[in-house]
Structure 1
Amino acid sequence: MSSTTRRPNLVVIMSDDQGPWALGCAGNDEIRTPVLDGLAARGTRLSRFFCASPVCSPARASLLTGQPPSTHGVHDYLDGPHAGAASVDYLAGMPTFTDSLADAGYRLGLSGKWHLGRSDVPRTGFVHWFALHGGGSPYGQALMYREAMPEAVEGYLTDVIADDATAFIDAEHDRDEPFFLAVNFTAPHKPFAGQHPSEFTDVYRDCAFESCPQGEPHPWQPMVDGAPIGGEADTREALIGYFAAVTAMDAAIGRIVAAIDRHDLGEETIVVFTSDNGFNCGHHGIWGKGNGTFPQNMYDESVMVPFIVSGPGVTGTGTVAEQLTSAYDLPATLLELVGLDPAPFELGPGRSFAALLRGYDREERDVVVHNEYGPVRMIRSTDRKYVHRHPFGPHEFYDLSADPGERENLVDAPERAGEVAQLRRRLHRWFTEHATRDADGSALPVYGAGQLSPLGDDPLGAFAPPGWDASPDDRRSAATPA
């Protein structure tokens, strides 16, 4: 059907734990991503797109709601029951952009990871639901839910997800209604070594991995059985696995793009590619993302993610936009791109950047982005970054124009005191405006070890480590980390 008679289809493809450096079109000449490079060449790539939190579940909740974690209340990756009566829908009652698409007549599909609770219950408006049980899985086998029924799948999980996505496109292509499809890969999330087909691992057997320098281990990096918490014992095999996972995913995305083209939908389908959060493969001496250290970190490799968009109405000249944009801007942006009102998702911090993608807005503005992970908060401008750790620190300040690698913390430099104070005030004002009392994360003792339940009267209980049996009063007193 002609794109002039209906709204464009929308396909949003999301990787899992992909650093902003892990793309060929981002300047990495070691990693092979020809399909994504081609999408970028036909569309627009944002070089400074930020997640809202450098860990999975809160980042994904923000991408759907346009709200920061201190509004939607998801502050760590979700642990505990992922399905069944004991599981919780963490976004229950909270508007998402997919709700708006469903209200506008879109047919919605999900293929892959969900990780926001109740993986076995399709959300409102979804006519297709093929969701991973939890947050991660070996690549050779996985438990999925097709609609509400469990399904044990074998075969390479990246291909399983892509095959399901192409089947959805095949089934929907000739309907009168437009479709929305979320394709949520688990790649390149660990496990790394021994997980991926040899046709992809063999590509990297002789790779020097100069794009992932292995520095001295970060002093805050936890170790588990002699390996970094976000890595594996054999660093080289982990690098081979990580790079192979990205390249295998790229090939799978190629099949999804081919399905769009096979049905002549290219001129009426917007394709978006991004990731939930970033990742360090040795960068800063870390393997992992925000919870690759404790206290959690806010390095750019953790909080920036790839972002590519191609399709009708998007500048198609291989444009690279360097303006700062954030996950909480995405719902309003996607709605405006398909011709719907973005205003309901601009009541919080988010603002549509559809004009930027259409080539109408190329001016540099006084824009900052914010990030949070429990009591750790960040404000970042074009060339400055301030990280605040409630209640006592340690805090960080980086002059990114002189130190883009975030090597020298200048927070205690007397000559920088004015800049630090200004950013600190701006950070606190922003969270005062946008955080809600019941979901504010500034006093949460987030360990980076999983959130077990929604926030409530017992905030520590949502993050209690195994064996925690303190009284509610003790938990409240412990809820302010030292």
Structure 2
Amino acid sequence: MKRPNILFVLTDDQGAWAMRCAGNTDIYTPNLDRLAKQGTRFDNFFCASPVCSPARASILTGRIPSRHGVHDWIRCGSLDKDTLGEYKDHPYFANEDKPVRYLEGMTAYTDLLADNGYCCALSGKWHLGDSMSPQHGFTDWFTIGRGGCLYMEPDVIENGELRIENRYITDLITQHALENIDKYSERYKDSDQPFYISVHYTAPHDPWDADQHPAEYVEMYRDCQCTATPDEPLHPNRIPTAPGGTGEERKRLLRGYYAAVTAMDAGVGRLLDRLEELGIADDTLVIFTADNGMNMGHHGIWGKGNGTFPFNLFDTAVKVPFIARWKGVIPEDRVTESMCSHYDIIQTLKDLLKLDGDLPEGLPGRSFAPVLTGASDTDNHVVILDEYGSSRMIRNREWKYIHRYPYGPDELYHLSEDPEEKENLIGLPEYEEIRCGLFDRLQKWYMKYADPAVDGSREAVTGMGQLRRPGVYSEGRQVYAETAKYQK
């Protein structure tokens, strides 16, 4: 079988709930809904960590954070300050010095694709250190300088050159991806060489102010009453730097978030349309997912895992959208309840595409290619594990246990009876045997898959950003920022 092209779309801070096809009646996502109608949507897909950089590292490598060593969002190490020219003293780049390749020496699935003849291109957010030059099999590289950026004044890197644009970043990412589709489709037509294009949107990450998004999308939600998400009091552990509010402020934030999602959805529509126009839609595997989930007032939290301290691991923070389409291979108009994780992707692509080459040892993932291609998943014993620093979660279909090293507080939820995670059962004697069983399994799993040199249970992760490689690689220096305003 001829290998397909691959279009991999990754969004930033999009909860699994933030699509019309997932039941949110407030939001407009016609193109994601179209994709779901033409493919399979997963209702129980999880990130490996509810924060940007660790989650992205796990998507690429199949390693958990306690094996790849990225435990918080990357705060510096993206740029070489000596090569910034006119931007050297720009406040955007105050924390930058020398680029750091946080995944150096690790195999990414894009390495595997490149070794199997794929032309690999990136359009959008990288946020794994060293944004200056292509790596891990990519030959075409258009990315964000620091990781995240403002929507209307983004810093971008193309061909090793940094510039600040005055265009909407969602449109810039889409346009560059369209150019790649055009370029690589010509090669595909002439040589059958397949392409892989990563389209990494910064949406719908904040800011959500009206002046950060095109008026046409802001206007769509001007009268939205935001009834599809819970209206709850602010969480007592909410961090002071997080956005959030109740009443009209809650509506304002949600309207901005929805505008960012719908603008991104329009970009996805342009990409899908271009595949059809070029006659290669049926020959292209399309995957859509997000780096992590997002609380937008859920549980009174405004943010992902680091919207609170201690970090939260509610399903709204760790569940992500996942849709896949490949004509004739992946069933259409199907929703599966199969439980899968981002750390399964590298195994799945190798299996689904029959890629040559060996994967590293010590990966926890399992291929979900059989489920993706239509097999029913009757395995009720699947467990999903997540981590953020010293906070760890084990979850199956019935129970979720969260353990925070070394002293807690811990949480236990009976998901089959309490899917909204409202009643913490920790400490109740009638559930102690269940807690012990889950904790035992969590401990043994991390003992098997974590690397003691970068084990997150030993790391003082703050949620304010990672400054360098952790553990034994830090040489005794500060690894995590202590405040939101950290400067090196």
TM more than 0.5: yes
**CA displacement, residues 174-213 of structure 1 (integer Å, 9 cap, x when unaligned):** 2121000000000000000121111111111111111222
Q: Which residue of 1 aligns with 2:257?
A: 242
Task: Find 2:148's aligned residue among 109, 133, 136.
Answer: 136
Mapping of residues 358-437 of structure 1, within 5 Å: 358-437=373-452
Does the alignment pair 1:33 with 2:29? yes
**CA displacement, residues 309-328 of structure 1 (integer Å, 9 cap, x when unaligned):** 00145433211111110010
Mapping of residues 27-426 of structure 1, within 5 Å: 27-84=23-80, 86-175=98-187, 176=191, 177-194=193-210, 195-224=212-241, 228-229=242-243, 234-312=249-327, 314-341=329-356, 344=359, 347-426=362-441
Whichever residue aligns with residue 52 of structure 1, its letter is A
1:269–1:311 Cα contact (<8 Å) kept: yes
State the number of aligned residues. Answer: 462
Mapping of residues 462-473 of structure 1, within 5 Å: 462-465=479-482
The 3 A distance-change label for structure 1 pair 231 and 68 is: farther
Q: Once structures 1 and 2 are overlaid, which stretch shifts more, 18-27 or 81-90?
A: 81-90
**CA displacement, residues 210-240 of structure 1 (integer Å, 9 cap, x when unaligned):** 122221111100123xxx3577993322111
Whole-Å separation in 1 of the counterparts to 2:331 and 2:409: 44
The gaps in structure 2 that reach 5 residues or longer are 81-96
**CA displacement, residues 268-303 of structure 1 (integer Å, 9 cap, x when unaligned):** 100000000010110000000000000000000000
Whole-Å separation in 2 of the counterparts to 1:312 and 1:329: 22
1:221–1:229 Cα contact (<8 Å) kept: no
Report how far residue 461 of structure 1 moved: 1.4
Whichever residue aligns with residue 219 of structure 2, its letter is D
2:234–2:245 Cα contact (<8 Å) kept: no
**CA displacement, residues 328-361 of structure 1 (integer Å, 9 cap, x when unaligned):** 0011112222221586167410111011000124
Q: Normalised by the size of structure 2, how large is the TM-score? A: 0.91
Whole-Å separation in 1 of the counterparts to 2:219 and 2:21: 22
Q: Secondary structure at the match of 1:387?
A: strand
2:46–2:318 Cα contact (<8 Å) kept: yes
Whichever residue aligns with residue 374 of structure 1, its letter is G
**CA displacement, residues 232-278 of structure 1 (integer Å, 9 cap, x when unaligned):** 99332211110011011001100011111111111110000000001
Whole-Å separation in 1 of the counterparts to 2:38 and 2:486: 52
Could you list the structure 1 runs, at least 4 aligned residues long, displaced by more than 4 angstroms after superposition.
229-233, 466-469
1:65–1:345 Cα contact (<8 Å) kept: no
Whichever residue aligns with residue 352 of structure 2, its letter is L
Q: Normalised by the size of structure 1, how large is the TM-score? A: 0.92
Whole-Å separation in 2 of the counterparts to 1:430 and 1:456: 20
The 3 A distance-change label for structure 1 pair 347 and 431 is: closer
Report how far residue 385 of structure 1 moved: 0.1
Q: Secondary structure at the match of 2:359?
A: helix
Report how far residue 48 of structure 1 moved: 0.6
1:58–1:74 Cα contact (<8 Å) kept: yes
- Percent of pairs with identical residues: 46
**CA displacement, residues 28-81 of structure 1 (integer Å, 9 cap, x when unaligned):** 111111101111111100101000000000000000000100000000000023
**CA displacement, residues 375-412 of structure 1 (integer Å, 9 cap, x when unaligned):** 00000001210000000100000001111000000011
2:112–2:357 Cα contact (<8 Å) kept: no
The 3 A distance-change label for structure 1 pair 468 and 114 is: closer
Whole-Å separation in 2 of the counterparts to 1:314 and 1:70: 34
2:295–2:316 Cα contact (<8 Å) kept: yes
The gaps in structure 1 that reach 5 residues or longer are 470-482
Report how far residue 456 of structure 1 moved: 3.8
Q: Which residue of 1 aligns with 2:458?
A: 443
The 3 A distance-change label for structure 1 pair 346 and 179 is: farther
Q: Secondary structure at the match of 1:324?
A: strand
1:231–1:288 Cα contact (<8 Å) kept: no
